[in-house]
């Protein structure tokens, strides 16, 4: 299935935290969107790969995704090498996105920066016809290179190159985040479960504050920020809102 936008994340919930408002806006505009998660988040302190998968499925319904898959790469230990690039190249060729959204270029979790580089390189390599991959039907895949690759901003503060207004879709974004009940602040969570950097109410406040900060930069209530590795082209100045 071809999608217009494919969001990539090192872990289930990376996309929900960082660019789900953008995906909801695209769906509202009639676009097809999908997510490819690199790992199952099996090194997480809370939850299990099975609960993360169930939470991911719930979030996918909220985001009205056309497709979502998990590559099953090793959490914490995947590398930007041929072994890990090839399954991502196959996914990019399978969904043929025009735009790819991917992890922050540098962040608190080392998987994020490494995932950003893996995504960038795989998007380029996916366009090389001499790299052979097979589709789910066992047939050779055609090369495909996304037109644009943008990096969403995660935990660490990085100056945004552009910001997407997600104000109409804030409630949907927040609902998709809250689908991960084992990972984030949840009043109904097991009180004996270990506390993590993400599970406290302070981090929930941070996520809202970050979205409000990006929105403030462009004169809206909520926003999501992105960085680019090459200039964004426009046909006329009016395209820059």
pLDDT digits (tens, 9 = 90+) for 149-166: 999 999 999 999 999 999
| Predicted local confidence at residue 238, as pLDDT | 85
Which parts of the chain have pLDDT scores under 50? Answer: none
**Hunting for tokens 């037109």 — which residue is that?**
147
**Count of all residues that appear for the chain in the document:** 241
Q: State how far the Cα of 89 lies from the Cα of 121, in Å rounded to an integer.
A: 9
pTM value is: 0.96
Coil, strand or helix at 223? strand
Domains, in order of start, for the chain: 5-232 (3.40.50.10320)
Report pLDDT for 32.
98
Q: How many CB atoms lie within 10 A of CB 205?
A: 11
């Amino acid at each position: 299935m071809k999608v217009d936008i494919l969001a990539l994340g090192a872990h289930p919930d990376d996309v929900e935290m960082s660019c789900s408002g953008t995906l909801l806006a695209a769906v509202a505009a009639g676009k097809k969107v999908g997510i490819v998660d690199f790992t199952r988040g099996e090194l997480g302190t809370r939850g299990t790969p099975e609960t993360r998968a169930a939470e991911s499925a719930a979030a996918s319904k909220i985001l009205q995704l056309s497709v979502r898959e998990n590559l099953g790469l090793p959490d914490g230990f995947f590398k930007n090498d041929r072994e890990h690039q090839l399954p991502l190249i196959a996914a990019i060729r399978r969904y043929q996105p025009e735009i790819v959204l991917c992890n922050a270029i540098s962040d608190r979790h080392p998987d994020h920066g490494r995932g950003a580089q893996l995504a960038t390189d795989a998007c380029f390599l996916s366009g090389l016809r001499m790299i052979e991959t097979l589709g789910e039907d066992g047939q050779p895949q055609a090369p495909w290179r996304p037109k644009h690759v943008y990096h969403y901003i995660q935990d660490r503060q990085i100056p945004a190159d552009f910001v997407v207004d997600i104000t109409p879709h804030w409630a949907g974004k927040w609902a998709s985040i809250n689908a991960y009940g084992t990972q984030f602040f949840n009043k109904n969570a097991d009180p004996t479960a270990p506390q993590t950097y993400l599970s406290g109410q302070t981090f929930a406040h941070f996520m809202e504050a970050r979205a409000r900060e990006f929105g403030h930069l462009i004169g809206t209530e909520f926003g999501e920020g992105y960085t680019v590795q090459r200039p964004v082209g426009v046909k006329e100045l009016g395209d820059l809102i």
